Amino acid sequence: MKKEIAVIGLGRFGGSIVMELSEMDVDVLVIDTDEARVNEYQDYYSEGIIGDSTDEAMLKSIGIDNYDNVIVAIGDNIQASILSTLILKDLGVKKVTTKAQNSYHGRVLEKIGADIVVHPERDMGRRIAHRLVSSSVVEYLEVSTSHSIIEYSANAKLENKRISDLNIREKFGISIIAINRDNDIIVSPDPQISILGGDILILIGSDQQLNHFEKVMERLK
């Protein structure tokens, strides 16, 4: 059976989720109060509803509880986002993912039972900040409030050095969990492997340790 996912709110965030899902083997239902938005994305979903997600009777009538995954991508209208999340959980939707506008909104969403709270603007801001500060950071992913994973492009100072010789774990307290070498992923690389030009190191550590590593590496360049 195909996976079924509902997306509420077709702003830039919700819209891009719908377009991405349409490339996968997923049945997508969209709901938006704005008819123009529903029409705009008509090529990307299997069912579109012009309606208000704070209308519990409407959600019930379309059988929203049959969807295991519902994404609430309403941004500006925080009240509608909270109420929709609450109703969806009350109706028994297993996994509700809601976009938060700010940290207070996020905290309320967690309290009322949202399964996943996403902060796309905040996360993207952080990613861009890391890329700006260190030209070698190609990707940045937060895994908790204190730890992250970064993709770090190996610079000349790291080239042809064995992992064991770099002492990254001892010096910085961070671990190389994988190496992306020409799109081949070497998982848990052997410490005897030498780093080559073009390698992208995938590193995990606390934010403090990663920041320290990025700063030291920038100075070495």
Which CB, 29 or 201, lies closer to ligand ATP? 29
Task: Please report how close the Cβ of residue 55 comes to ligand ATP at its closest, in angstroms.
Answer: 8
Taking residues 4 to 23 in sequence order and writing x for each that binds ligand ATP by CB under 6 A, - otherwise, the string is ----xxxxxxx---------
Which CB, 58 or 138, lies closer to ligand ATP? 58
The answer to whether 41 and 13 are in contact (CB under 8 A) is no
Which CB, 50 or 204, lies closer to ligand ATP? 50
Task: Please report how close the Cβ of residue 150 comes to ligand ATP at its closest, in angstroms.
Answer: 26
Looking at residues 158 to 217 of the shown chain, list those that interact with ligand ATP (rule: CB under 6 A).
none
Taking residues 84 to 113 in sequence order and writing x for each that binds ligand ATP by CB under 6 A, - otherwise, the string is ------------------------------
DSSP string, the chain: --EEEEEE--SHHHHHHHHHHHTTTEEEEEEES-HHHHHHTGGG-SEEEES-TT-HHHHHHTTGGG-SEEEE---S-HHHHHHHHHHHHHTT-SEEEEE-SSHHHHHHHHHTT-SEEE-HHHHHHHHHHHHHH-TTEEEEEESSSSEEEEEEE--TTTTT-BHHHH-HHHHHS-EEEEEEETTEEEES--TTPBP-TT-EEEEEEEHHHHHHHHHHHHHH-
Looking at residues 31 to 60 of the shown chain, list those that interact with ligand ATP (rule: CB under 6 A).
31-34, 37, 52-54
Which CB, 41 or 172, lies closer to ligand ATP? 41
Residue number of the CB closest to ligand ATP reads 11
Task: Please report how close the Cβ of residue 64 comes to ligand ATP at its closest, in angstroms.
Answer: 12
Which of the stretches 40-48, 73-81, 106-114, 135-143 binds ligand ATP when contact is defined by CB under 6 A?
73-81
The residues binding ligand ATP (CB under 6 A) are 8-14, 31-34, 37, 52-54, 73-77, 80
